[in-house]
Amino acid sequence: MLKQAAYKQQSVQTASPGELTLMLYNGCLKQLRVAENAIKESHFQQKNEALTKAEAIIKELMITLKTDTEVGENMMRMYEYIHYQLIEANIKSDLTALQEAQGYVVEFRDTWKEVIKLDRQNRFGGVAT
């Protein structure tokens, strides 16, 4: 377990800003899956813990977002909406709100993966991993 934690810490420390954003999206999705299962199984403490972590990740994405462009402003509004949906999901154990938020996070994550891929292609002459 210690090796896994050390590897994870090393991954974060050596990641590019784009890769860190991708890690945040993936971490959020992991917590949303935990919360979804917890709601279905009526494990309210587990639901609360997972959604609280997901909310914190969305807040971190909001803090690091540059809002000096139209795209940035629109992303901020989307993050605010996702955050609101997560609060609703937590308060009301609302699967619909959770799944809507999850859908947006999946879209953002998938788009971000493509951005990273294109950036690598541009930087390394067409070789993408």
Question: Taking the domains of the chain in order of start, what are their residue ranges?
Answer: 18-120
Residue 2 has pLDDT above 80, yes or no: no
Residue with tokens 């996702």: 82
pLDDT tens digits, 23-75: 999 999 999 999 999 999 999 999 999 999 999 999 999 999 999 999 999 99
Backbone angles phi and psi of 109, in degrees to 5: -60, -45
Q: Which CATH superfamily is domain 18-120 in?
A: Flagellar protein FliS (1.20.120.340)
Task: Identify the band that residue 5 occupies on the pLDDT scale cut at 50, 70 and 90.
Answer: low
Cα separation, 101 vs 42, whole angstroms: 20
pLDDT, position 3: 67
Task: State the helix-helix crossing angle for 70-92 and 17-40, rounded to 10 degrees.
Answer: 20
Which of 15-19, 36-40, 109-113 is the least confident region? 15-19
**pTM assigned to the model:** 0.85
